[in-house]
């Protein structure tokens, strides 16, 4: 079922969903099942599976240079989505990214997804490869999420890349895009970022999932600003509980987000990782309660395949 229909059918009740990433190569599908099963009690109508571009994994040396440690390859997002849909009868939402994929490969992916009965996709540009510094489009691939969105919309309309004859084919993917309550880091300002988000919505995006944030006011302002810009589709907040001291540095560095001072101080005062998790959990429970009060359609958790903390939060909130 489409995510927009799940939201409509909920009649204003906030739903619970979460995101997984494909495990590192060498793991089995059991890794995915173990990441899902503790969260099924909260009846997620959908589960997202991210897509990671192949890349080297680096270590930064003392002189600042990068040293290659290994090559990142993971089992395919589509195969994992098929397994989830078949085993749990829960809608699985693959992330489709521009980076690393030609338009033909994307078309093949869409044909596979249609065949498998997958109804939703989240389209994204994808992150830059580490050594590239900034995002470099794949030859014969897409440069922006909006270009990829256009391909999905064309696909829904039965327009294939190399076919000029009409074919009997129907896909009707419900398409999500990313939104950034604290601005995408490359956008020169919030207004420009909104302009490109609006472009994606005008091209037919059906829902938005946000980058993580820790200050609800940023989400509230973002939603209000979207509405002012005529963006009226559901805006699903993305949430990640703090679970380690190192995240005080890593989350702002990787995701370009701010952490509230009271949260930072509380985490800094912790003696053990267990204490940090406790603080992160309590903080997120408060965040969730406020978001539900605001009327967020879904609370979407970035679990990274580790369900325990999200389960604790969901137990307190749903």
**Judged by CB, which is closer to ligand FAD: 119, or 193?**
193
**Judged by CB, which is closer to ligand FAD: 14, or 276?**
14
Q: Is 120 helix (H, G, I), strand (E, B) or coil?
A: strand
- Choose among 316, 257, 233, 263: nearest CA to 16: 316
Q: Using an 8 Å Cβ cutoff, are 222 and 194 in contact?
A: no
Q: Using an 8 Å Cβ cutoff, are 172 and 119 in contact?
A: yes
CB of 50 to ligand FAD, least distance (A): 3
Element spanning 178, H or E:
strand 174-179
**Judged by CB, which is closer to ligand FAD: 42, or 301?**
301
**Judged by CB, which is closer to ligand FAD: 126, or 307?**
126
State the Cα–Cα distance between residues 241 and 248, nearest whole angstrom: 12
Phi-psi region of 236 (alpha: psi -120 to 50; beta: other; left: phi over 0): beta
**Judged by CB, which is closer to ligand FAD: 183, or 277?**
183
CB of 262 to ligand FAD, least distance (A): 24
Q: Is 250 helix (H, G, I), strand (E, B) or coil?
A: helix
State the Cα–Cα distance between residues 147 and 155, nearest whole angstrom: 12
**Judged by CB, which is closer to ligand FAD: 36, or 178?**
178
Q: Is 181 helix (H, G, I), strand (E, B) or coil?
A: coil
Residues that bind ligand FAD (CB under 6 A): 50-53, 95, 97, 124-127, 144-146, 178, 184, 186-187, 192-193, 196, 209, 211, 238
Angle at 240 between CA 224 and CA 148, to 5 degrees: 65
The pair of three-digit structure tokens given for residue 38, joined into one six-digit string = 């503790």
CB of 18 to ligand FAD, least distance (A): 12
Contacts within 8 Å (CB) and 24+ apart, 154-161: 155/107, 155/110, 160/107, 161/103, 161/104, 161/107
CB of 308 to ligand FAD, least distance (A): 22
Q: Report strand pairing: 298-302 vs 235-239.
A: parallel
CB of 270 to ligand FAD, least distance (A): 28
CB of 158 to ligand FAD, least distance (A): 25
CB of 237 to ligand FAD, least distance (A): 10
């Amino acid at each position: 079922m489409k995510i927009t229909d799940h939201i409509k059918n909920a009649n204003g009740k906030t739903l619970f969903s979460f995101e997984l990433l494909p495990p590192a190569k060498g793991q089995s599908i059991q890794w995915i099942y173990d990441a899902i099963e503790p969260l099924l009690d909260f009846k997620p109508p959908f589960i997202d599976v991210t897509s990671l571009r192949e890349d080297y994994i680096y270590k930064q040396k003392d002189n600042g240079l990068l040293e290659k440690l290994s090559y990142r390859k993971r089992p395919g997002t589509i195969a994992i989505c098929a397994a989830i849909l078949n085993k749990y009868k829960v809608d699985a939402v693959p992330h489709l990214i521009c980076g690393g994929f030609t338009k033909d490969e994307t078309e093949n992916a869409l044909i596979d997804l249609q065949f498998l009965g997958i109804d939703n996709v989240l389209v994204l540009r994808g992150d830059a490869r580490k050594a590239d510094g900034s995002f470099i489009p794949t030859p014969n691939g897409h440069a922006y999420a909006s270009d990829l969105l256009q391909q999905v919309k064309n696909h829904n309309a039965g327009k294939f890349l190399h076919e000029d004859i009409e074919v009997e084919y129907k896909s009707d993917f419900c398409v999500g895009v990313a939104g950034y309550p604290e601005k995408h880091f490359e956008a020169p300002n919030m207004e420009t970022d909104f302009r490109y988000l609006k472009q994606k919505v005008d091209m037919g995006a059906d829902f938005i999932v946000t980058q993580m944030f820790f200050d609800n006011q940023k989400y509230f302002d973002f939603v209000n600003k979207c509405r002012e810009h005529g963006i009226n589709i559901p805006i699903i907040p993305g949430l990640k509980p703090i679970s380690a001291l190192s995240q005080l540095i890593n989350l702002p560095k990787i995701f370009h987000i701010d952490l509230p001072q009271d949260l930072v101080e509380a985490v800094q005062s912790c003696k053990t990782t267990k204490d940090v998790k406790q603080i992160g959990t309590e903080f997120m429970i408060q965040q969730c309660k406020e978001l539900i009060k605001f009327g967020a359609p879904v609370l979407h958790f970035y679990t990274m395949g580790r369900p325990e903390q999200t389960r604790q939060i969901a137990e307190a909130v749903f």
